[in-house]
Amino acid sequence: SYFISFSFQQRIEIHKLRQGDNLILGFSIGGGIDQDPTQNPFSEDKTDKGIYVTRVTEGGPAEVAGLQIGDKIMQVNGWDMTMVTHDQARKRLTKRNEEVVRLLVTRQSLQKAVQQSMMS
Amino acid sequence: MSAAMDTESTYSGYSHYSGHSKKAHRQGRDRHKSPRSKDGSRSEKSVTIQTPPAEPLLGNDASRTEEGQDDNWGETTTAITGTSEHSISQEDIARISKDLEDSVGLDCKRYLGLTVAAVLGLLVFLTPIAFILLPQILWRDDLEPCGTVCEGLFISVAFKLLILLIGTWALFFRQPKADLPRVFVFRAILLVLIFLFVFSYWLFYGVRILDSKDTNYQGIVQYAVSLVDALLFIHYLAIVLLELRQLQPMFTVKVVRSTDGESRYYSLGHLSIQRAALVVLENYYRDFTVYNPALLTASKSRAAKHMAGLKVYNVDGPGNNPSGQSRAMIAAAARRRDSSHNELYYEEADHERRVKKRRARLVVAVEEAFTHIKRLQAEEQQKAPGEMMDPREAAQAIFPSMARALQKYLRTTRQQQYHSMESILQHLSFCITNNMTPKAFLERYLNPGPTLQYDRDRWFSKQWTLVSEEAVTSGLQDGIVFVLKCLDFSLVVNVKKIPFIKLSEEFIDPKSHKFVLRLQSETSV
What pLDDT, on a 0 to 100 scale, did the predictor assign at position A45? 86
* Residue B264 sits in the same domain as residue B402: no
Could B525 and A25 be called an inter-chain contact, meaning their C-beta atoms sit closer than 8 Å? yes
Q: Which has the higher per-residue pLDDT, B378 or B206?
A: B206
Q: Is residue B73 part of a domain?
A: no
* Residue B147 sits in the same domain as residue B200: yes
**Shortest distance, CA A27 to any CA of chain B (angstroms):** 6
Q: Is residue B181 part of a domain?
A: yes
Residues in chain A closer than 8 A to B518 (CB atoms): 35-36, 39
What pLDDT, on a 0 to 100 scale, did the predictor assign at position B276? 92
Q: Is B512 on the interface with A (CB under 8 A)?
A: no
Q: Is residue B140 part of a domain?
A: yes
The answer on pLDDT for B66 being more than 60 is no
Residue B364 and residue B424 in contact, taking contact as beta carbons nearer than 8 Å = no
* Residue B274 sits in the same domain as residue B288: yes
**Shortest distance, CA B517 to any CA of chain A (angstroms):** 9
C-alpha distances out from residue B387 to B40, B289, B382, B383, B431, Å: 44, 41, 11, 10, 20
* Residue B282 sits in the same domain as residue B374: no
* Residue B377 sits in the same domain as residue B407: yes
Find the helix or strand (DSSP H, E) in which A42 lies.
none
Instruction: State which residues form the domain around B357.
Output: 294-298+330-447
**Shortest distance, CA B515 to any CA of chain A (angstroms):** 14
Condensed to tens digits (0 to 9), the pLDDT of residues B483-520 reads: 999 988 999 999 999 999 999 999 999 999 998 877 88
Q: Is residue B109 part of a domain?
A: yes
* Residue B179 sits in the same domain as residue B260: no
**Shortest distance, CA B506 to any CA of chain A (angstroms):** 29
Q: Is residue B24 part of a domain?
A: no
Would you say the C-alpha torsion B416, B421, B422, B424 has a positive or negative sign? positive
* Residue B282 sits in the same domain as residue B241: no
Q: Is residue B481 part of a domain?
A: yes
Q: Is A22 on the interface with B (CB under 8 A)?
A: no
Residue B26 and residue B109 in contact, taking contact as beta carbons nearer than 8 Å = no
Encoded amino acid at B161, one letter: L
* Residue B266 sits in the same domain as residue B240: no
The number of domains in chain B is 3
Q: Is residue B313 part of a domain?
A: no
Q: How far apart are CA B404 and CA B365, in angstroms?
A: 9
Band of pLDDT at residue B95, cut at 50, 70 and 90: low
* Residue B203 sits in the same domain as residue B259: no
Q: Is B378 on the interface with A (CB under 8 A)?
A: no
Of the candidates A27, A40, A55, which has its C-beta nearest B520's C-beta?
A: A40
CATH topology of domain A8-117: Pdz3 Domain (2.30.42)
Mean pLDDT score, B270-286 = 92
Band of pLDDT at residue B42, cut at 50, 70 and 90: very low
What pLDDT, on a 0 to 100 scale, did the predictor assign at position A77? 93
Q: Is residue B59 part of a domain?
A: no
Band of pLDDT at residue B73, cut at 50, 70 and 90: very low
Q: How far apart are CA A61 and CA A67, in angstroms?
A: 9
Could A93 and B522 be called an inter-chain contact, meaning their C-beta atoms sit closer than 8 Å? no
Q: How far apart are CA B77 and CA B178, in angstroms?
A: 11
Mean pLDDT score, A15-27 = 91
Could B524 and A94 be called an inter-chain contact, meaning their C-beta atoms sit closer than 8 Å? no
* Residue B423 sits in the same domain as residue B406: yes
What pLDDT, on a 0 to 100 scale, did the predictor assign at position B517? 79
Q: Which has the higher per-residue pLDDT, B480 or B95?
A: B480
Q: How far apart are CA B392 and CA B390, in angstroms?
A: 6
